[in-house]
C-alpha cells in the first residue's frame, strides 16, 4: 500500500515539474533520471577530466548515451556474448588478435570512446588506433567466461569500450556438436563484451557476423581489406520525435495527468508470474542461465506458416504463445480468473523510425517497450484470434511512436522518486533476435561455430526473466536467463517447459 501511495504521489510530482516549465531540463538534461548515490559518484568520475585532445570529435552524447554509460558503470547493461569455435587446423592467438584489429578498422563503434569536451560527454574516435583489449585466458567453460565478463569495466574517456577474451580449449574438451569436432578438432571459446552506450544488440550481432567472416577469410588466406562497413549515427531523429511528443502533451495537461497515473499504477503491480510462483527469499540474487531449448524445425515451419496465414509476425505469434503458457500455469496453480493481465518488455530497434537507412547503422538505437495484454482463461480455444489482437496492439503502438512516449512518461515518474526501491513489474523480457528471413551464420569453410551464449545482469532491472529467441546455425532456440531474486531456476524451467509444450501442441493442431 505504501508503495502504491508513493507511486501515485510521484505521478503528481512529475506533472508538477512539467507544468512549472522545467520540462526542458526534465526531457533533455541529466536530471530527467535522478541518479542514486552510486550513480552520482559514477557521474563525477565520468566528467572528472578533459581527455582525447587529439581525437576526432563526432557528436555530443545525448541523454540516452549518458544514461546507458552510467548504468554500465554500476553493473547494469554490461552485456556479454560468447562463441565456441572449432577450426580445421590450429588458430594461434596472434591470428585471432589480427582478425580483431581488422574488425576494429571496419566497424566504427569499436573505434570510439566517451571523453569530456568542455565539461560535456562526446562520442569521439580514440586518439590511438588500433587499440584493443584482448587477452588469452587460461581455462574455463564458455558460460563461466561470459558470466565473469559481466563485471568488466571500461576506460570511458580513452577507450576501448569493448573487449575480447579467448580460451584455447584442451583436446579433451567436450563439444556441443561432436559431429562437427570430428572434422574441426581445434576448439576455442571467444567472448565479446561491450559498453551499451555506443551500441545495441542489433549492432553487436552484425559485428559478430563480420568477425566470423573475417576470420574464415584469413584462414583461407584470402585478401582482407579494412574498408568500413556501415556508419556511426547519432539519435537526432529520435530526439525530434521525443520533442514532438513533449509538445503534444504540453497542450493537453489533463491527458498527461491520466497517462502519468497509469504509469504509476503499473509500477505497483505484482507480475502474474510472481503470483503463480511467489518471490524467492534470496539475500544475494544472481543472474542464472537456464539450458537452451531448441524448437523442432518441422514444427517451427508449421508455426511460421500459421503466423503468415493469420497475417501476424513470428514475433507476435511467439509472444502470444508465452502469454498463453503463463495463463495455463496460473490456472494449474489455482488462480481462476476470467482473464489475466500479462506484461512483457520488448527491445525495439529505433532504426525503423530513421530516414535513409541504406547500410548498417552503428550506435545505440534501441528503446524498451511495455506490452500489456488481457489474456482470456480459455486462451487455447481462441489462440490465433488472441495473437491477432496481440499483433494489432503491438504494431499500432510502434506506428504511433509509442515506445518514445512510454520512455518519456516512465522517466518522468521515476525522476520524481529519487529514493525509489527497485521492483520487478514485468512478467518477462522478450527478446526476439530471430527472423525467418535472416540467414544464419557460423558454418564457415575453415571454422565452425558450435556453441553460443550471452548474458546481461538482471539483478538491477525491473524485470527478472529474459527469454531470447535466437538462431544458431540451422537451429532456433529459446535462451532463458533469470534473476534468482525474481524466480527460482526450477520454476522458470516449468514456464519454459510449458512454452515448449504449447508450441508443439499449437503447431500440430489443425485450425
* Three-state secondary structure call for residue 120: strand
Domain 236-508 has CATH 3.30.559.30: yes
Grid cell listed for 57: 570529435
- For 414, list phi and psi in degrees, rounded to 5: -70, -35
Reported as a pLDDT band with limits 50, 70 and 90, residue 419 is low
Grid cell listed for 508: 500440430
DSSP labels for 462-484?
S--EEEEEEEETTEEEEEEEEET
ω into 160 cis (within 30 of 0): yes
Reported as a pLDDT band with limits 50, 70 and 90, residue 101 is very high
Reported as a pLDDT band with limits 50, 70 and 90, residue 52 is low
Please name which of 106, 119, 113 lies closest in space to residue 133, comparing C-alpha atoms: 113
Position 34 pLDDT exceeds 80 = no
pLDDT digits (tens, 9 = 90+) for 268-290: 889 999 999 999 988 899 999 99
Position 111 pLDDT exceeds 90 = yes
Rounded CA separation 262/424 (Å): 17
Grid cell listed for 195: 559498453
Sign of the torsion formed by the C-alpha atoms of 229, 120, 407 and 477: positive
Per-residue pLDDT, 189: 97
3-state DSSP helix/strand/coil percent for the chain, to nearest 5?
A: 45, 20, 35
Position 5 pLDDT exceeds 80 = no
Q: What are the structural domain ranges in the chain? A: 38-232, 236-508
Q: Which of 100-104, 180-184, 199-203 has the lowest mean pLDDT?
A: 199-203
The share of the chain scoring above pLDDT 70, in percent, equals: 88
Please name which of 336, 297, 317 lies closest in space to residue 383, comparing C-alpha atoms: 317
pLDDT digits (tens, 9 = 90+) for 293-304: 999 999 999 999
Reported as a pLDDT band with limits 50, 70 and 90, residue 245 is very high
Rounded CA separation 159/109 (Å): 11
Grid cell listed for 149: 565478463
12, burial (CB in 10 Å: exposed 0-12, middle 13-18, buried 19+): middle
Q: Which residues of 284-319 are buried (b: 16+ CB within 10 A; e: fewer)?
A: ebebbbbebbebbeeebeebbebbeebebbbbbbbb
Cα dist from 71 to 131, 193, 380, whole Å: 24, 15, 40
Grid cell listed for 63: 541523454
What average pLDDT does the segment 132-143 reach? 93
pLDDT digits (tens, 9 = 90+) for 190-204: 999 999 999 998 899
Please name which of 131, 127, 129 lies closest in space to residue 117, comparing C-alpha atoms: 127
Position 444 pLDDT exceeds 70 = yes
Position 243 pLDDT exceeds 60 = yes
Per-residue pLDDT, 210: 95
Rounded CA separation 296/477 (Å): 9
Rounded CA separation 487/60 (Å): 40
Rounded CA separation 159/127 (Å): 9
Sign of the torsion formed by the C-alpha atoms of 346, 330, 301 and 175: positive
- So what's the architecture of 38-232 in CATH? 2-Layer Sandwich (3.30)
Cell numbers 578533459: residue: 50
Q: Which of 74-83, 120-129, 251-260, 284-293 has the lowest mean pLDDT?
A: 74-83
What average pLDDT does the segment 44-60 reach? 59
38-232 with 236-508: one CATH topology?
A: yes
Position 117 pLDDT exceeds 70 = yes
Rounded CA separation 158/52 (Å): 6
Per-residue pLDDT, 39: 35
List Cβ neighbours of 485 (8 Å cut-off, separation of 6 or more).
279, 280, 282, 285, 459, 464
Rounded CA separation 116/50 (Å): 5
List Cβ neighbours of 29 (8 Å cut-off, separation of 6 or more).
63
Residues 377 and 272: beta-carbon distance below 8 Å: no
Reported as a pLDDT band with limits 50, 70 and 90, residue 9 is low
Grid cell listed for 171: 583436446
Amino acid at each position: 500500500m505504501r508503495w502504491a501511495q508513493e507511486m501515485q504521489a510521484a505521478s503528481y510530482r512529475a506533472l508538477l515539474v512539467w507544468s512549472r516549465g522545467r520540462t526542458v531540463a526534465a526531457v533533455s538534461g541529466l536530471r530527467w533520471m535522478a541518479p542514486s548515490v552510486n550513480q552520482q559518484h559514477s557521474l563525477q568520475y565520468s566528467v572528472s577530466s578533459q581527455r582525447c585532445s587529439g581525437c576526432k570529435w563526432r557528436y555530443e552524447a545525448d541523454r540516452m548515451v549518458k544514461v546507458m554509460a552510467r548504468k554500465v558503470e554500476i553493473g547494469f547493461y554490461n552485456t556479454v556474448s560468447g562463441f565456441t569455435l572449432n577450426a580445421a587446423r590450429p588458430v594461434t592467438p596472434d591470428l585471432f588478435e589480427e582478425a580483431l584489429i581488422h574488425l576494429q578498422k571496419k566497424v566504427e563503434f569499436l573505434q570510439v570512446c566517451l571523453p569530456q569536451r568542455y565539461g560535456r560527454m562526446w562520442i569521439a574516435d580514440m586518439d590511438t588506433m588500433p587499440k584493443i583489449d584482448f587477452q588469452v585466458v587460461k581455462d574455463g567453460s564458455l558460460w563461466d567466461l561470459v558470466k565473469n565478463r559481466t563485471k568488466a569495466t571500461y576506460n570511458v574517456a580513452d577507450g576501448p569500450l569493448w573487449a575480447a577474451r579467448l580460451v584455447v580449449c584442451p583436446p579433451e574438451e567436450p563439444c556441443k556438436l561432436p559431429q562437427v569436432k570430428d572434422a574441426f578438432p581445434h576448439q576455442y571459446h571467444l567472448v565479446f563484451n561491450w559498453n551499451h552506450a555506443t551500441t545495441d544488440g542489433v549492432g553487436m550481432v552484425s559485428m559478430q557476423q563480420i568477425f566470423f567472416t573475417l576470420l574464415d577469410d584469413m584462414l583461407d588466406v584470402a585478401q582482407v581489406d579494412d574498408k568500413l562497413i556501415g556508419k556511426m549515427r547519432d539519435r537526432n531523429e529520435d530526439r525530434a520525435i521525443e520533442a514532438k511528443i513533449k509538445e503534444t502533451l504540453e497542450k493537453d495537461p489533463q491527458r498527461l495527468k491520466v497517462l502519468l497515473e497509469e504509469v504509476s499504477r503499473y509500477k505497483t503491480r505484482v507480475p502474474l508470474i510472481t503470483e503463480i510462483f511467489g518471490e524467492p527469499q534470496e539475500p544475494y540474487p544472481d543472474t542464472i542461465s537456464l539450458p537452451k531449448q531448441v524448437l523442432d524445425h518441422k514444427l517451427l515451419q508449421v508455426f511460421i506458416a500459421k503466423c503468415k496465414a493469420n497475417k501476424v509476425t513470428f514475433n507476435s505469434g511467439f509472444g502470444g504463445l508465452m502469454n498463453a503458457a503463463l495463463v495455463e500455469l496460473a490456472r494449474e496453480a489455482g488462480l481462476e480468473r476470467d482473464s489475466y493481465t500479462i506484461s512483457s518488455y520488448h527491445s525495439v530497434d529505433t532504426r525503423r523510425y530513421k530516414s535513409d537507412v541504406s547500410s548498417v547503422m552503428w550506435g545505440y538505437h534501441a528503446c524498451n517497450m511495455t506490452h500489456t495484454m488481457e489474456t482470456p482463461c480459455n486462451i487455447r480455444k481462441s489462440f490465433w484470434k488472441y495473437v491477432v489482437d496481440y499483433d494489432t496492439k503491438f504494431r499500432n503502438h510502434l506506428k504511433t511512436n509509442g515506445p518514445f512516449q512510454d520512455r518519456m512518461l516512465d522517466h518522468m515518474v521515476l525522476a520524481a522518486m529519487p529514493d525509489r526501491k527497485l521492483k520487478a513489474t514485468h512478467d518477462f523480457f522478450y527478446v526476439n533476435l530471430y527472423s525467418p528471413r535472416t540467414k544464419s551464420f557460423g558454418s564457415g569453410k575453415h571454422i565452425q561455430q558450435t556453441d553460443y551464449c550471452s548474458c546481461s545482469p538482471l539483478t538491477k532491472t525491473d524485470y527478472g526473466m529474459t527469454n531470447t529467441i535466437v538462431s544458431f546455425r540451422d537451429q532456433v532456440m529459446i535462451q532463458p536467463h533469470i534473476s534468482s531474486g525474481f524466480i527460482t531456476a526450477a520454476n522458470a524451467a516449468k514456464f519454459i517447459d510449458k512454452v515448449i509444450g504449447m508450441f508443439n501442441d499449437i503447431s500440430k493442431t489443425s485450425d
